[in-house]
Structure 1
Amino acid sequence: MTSTAPDEDVKDDIKEKISCKLVSEIIRERIESAGARFHANDNISNYILPGELKTLEKEVSTRVRDLLKTLLIDVDNDHNTQETAERVSRMYINEVFKGRFYEQPKVTSFPNDKNLDEIYTVGPITVRSACSHHLVPILGDCWIGIKPGEKVIGLSKFARVADWVFSRPHIQEEAVMILADEIERLCEPKGLGIIVKAQHYCMKWRGVKEPDTSMINSVVRGDFRHDSSLKQEFFELVRQQSNANKNY
C-alpha cells in the first residue's frame, strides 16, 4: 500500500515556507480564512496566538525604522532616535492601539436584585484615541447614562471598557457606536446614553490648526431614545457633572 503522507523533504519545505512568513501575514491569513474584518477600529485579539504579539512588535519596529530612514533621519547615529522604532512599536501595540490586539477587560455583571430603575450617569471618563485618517491624537471626555435592566456592572468597568474601545484608530462617530454596542452586550440596560466631547489633533495640530475646536456627539438607545423626558434628564445630569467638574 502506498503512503499518502508527505515525505520528509516536503515537510521541511512546508516548514521553511511558514518560517519565512512575517507574523503579520500569518495573522492576516488567519483573519481572512475566518471571513472576519480587520479595519482600523476592529478588535482582532481572537486571531492572535500566545507569543505572536512579541514577534509582531519586532516586525512593526523594523517597519517604523524603515519609515524613519525614508524620512532621512539618521537612526544609526542620532542618539535621540536610535531606539525610537522600538518605543513606537511597543506604544502602538500595548498602549494606544491595545484595543485592537488585546481582549476586552474582564467585566462581571450582577443581578439587579433591588430592581433599580432610576437612571444614573458616569463621567467624565477620559478617552484617548487616534484619528484613523492621520494617526494623531483624539483626546476628550465621555459620559455614560444607564437605566438599569436585569443586570448591573461596577462603575469602574465603564471606564475600562471605554478605554479599551477608544484605544484604536477611530473616527469619533464610530467609536461612540462601538462603545454603546459593548455596554449593551455587557449589562443589557433598559436605556443607554453616551456623550463624547473631544479635541481632534488632525484639526488642532495640522490642517486648519484650530486649537479650541471640539466635536460633541451622542448616542441614545432604548428608553432614552423613546422617552424624551428620560433623554432630557440624561443630558441635564451630564451638564451638571460637566459644570461641577469645572469647579474642582
Structure 2
Amino acid sequence: MDAFAKRNDKLQSDIERPSRQEAEDAVRTLLRFIGEDVDREGLLDTPKRVVKAYSEMFGGYDKDPEDALGRTFEEVAGYDDIVLVRDIPFHSHCEHHMVPIIGKAHVAYLPDGKVLGLSKIARVVDIFANRLQTQEALTAQVAHAIHNTLRPLGVAVMIEAEHMCMAMRGIRKQGSTTLTTTFTGQFKGDAAAQARFISMIRDRG
C-alpha cells in the first residue's frame, strides 16, 4: 500500500470523535488560554459558532472522493487529448498550525475512452482541501484519486497557494506563493507533456 493509500485509509477510518458539547468546551478553553473572558457578551455563542464552522470547513473527512467522481461518460466522439480544468479556487488549513491555505488548483487528465463530468474534479479538490493538509499531500491526493478511479492515461495536478502560517506568523511574508505538481501515467517522466500542461494553464489567450 502506497503512502497516499495509507493516509487516505487513516482519514476514512472510524476515529472516535468527542461530542459537540466537548468540542464547544475545548473552544472555551482556548479562549481562556489567549486571555479572553468567555462570559462576556460577544463570546457567549462563539464556541457554538466555531464548532459549526469547523463542521463546514472540515467536512471533507465525511466524504468519499470516489463517490464524488461518480459516473463517467463514454460518448466522447474519439476525443483523446488533454482535458484541463484550471483555476479551481479552494480554501484549506495547514495541519501544522491549523491556519488557512488559500489557493487554486489546475487539474488535467488524458482520457482513455471515458471522461468525467467537469464539476466532479472541483468536488474532489474540495473534499481533500476540507481536511487538515500539507500542500504536497493535497496535490498528490487529488491526482491519485482521479487516477485510481477514472483510470485515465495520465493525470496532472498543479496547486498554487498562499499559506497563512507564513503570512500571519513566523516570518510574516505576505504574498508568498507555493507551487506543487504531481504527475501520473503518461504525464510522469514526459517533459513535453508536462510543459504542455503548464503552457495550457499559463496561456490566457
* Residue from 148, 151, 154 that aligns with 1:191: 154
Asked if 1:72 is matched to 2:35, the reply is: yes
TM-score, length of structure 2 as denominator length:
0.87
| Residue 37 (structure 1) shift | 7.0
Structure 2 residue matching 1:133: 3-state secondary structure: coil
Deviation at 1:229, TM superposition (A): 2.2
State whether structure 2 residue 123 is matched by structure 1 residue 160. yes
Cα-to-partner distance string for 1:99-150 (whole Å, 9 max, x where unaligned): 1234445332324343421112101001211111111100001000111023
Partner in structure 2 of residue 43 of structure 1 = 11
**Correspondence for 1:169:** 132
Greater C-alpha Rg: 1
Identity over aligned pairs, percent: 30
What is the CA-CA distance between 1:170 and the residue it aligns to?
A: 0.9
CA RMSD of aligned residues (A): 2.4
The structure 2 residue matched to 1:108, chosen from 41, 50, 70, is: 70
Matches for 1:1-248 after TM superposition, within 5 Å: 43-44=11-12, 47=14, 56-76=19-39, 78-92=40-54, 94-104=55-65, 106-113=68-75, 114-240=77-203, 243=204
- Kindly indicate whether the alpha-carbon contact (under 8 Å) linking 1:109 and 1:151 is maintained by their aligned counterparts in 2: no
Shift of residue 95, structure 1, vs aligned partner: 1.6
Residues 97 and 169 of structure 1 are in contact (CA less than 8 Å); yes or no, is this contact kept in structure 2?
yes
1:174 alignment partner AA:
A
Q: Is the 8 A contact 2:68 2:124 kept in 1?
A: no
Q: Name the TM-score, length of structure 1 as normaliser.
A: 0.73
* Alpha-carbon displacement from aligned partner over 1:155-183 (angstroms, at most 9, x marks no partner): 01111110011111111111111111111
Superposition misfits of 4+ residues, deviation over 4 angstroms: 36-39
Aligned-partner Cα distance in 1 for 2:93–2:189: 33
The aligned residue for residue 21 of structure 1 is none
Contact 1:112 1:149 in 2 (8 A): no
Relative contact order (C-alpha < 8 Å, sep 6+): which is higher? 2
Give the number of equivalent residue pairs.
Answer: 199
- Residue 226 of structure 1 and its aligned partner are, at CA, apart by 3.7
CA distance in 2, matches of 1:233, 1:155: 20
**How many angstroms apart in 1 are the aligned matches of 2:6 and 2:25?**
25
Unaligned segments of structure 1, at least 5 residues: 1-35
Shift of 1:71: 2.7
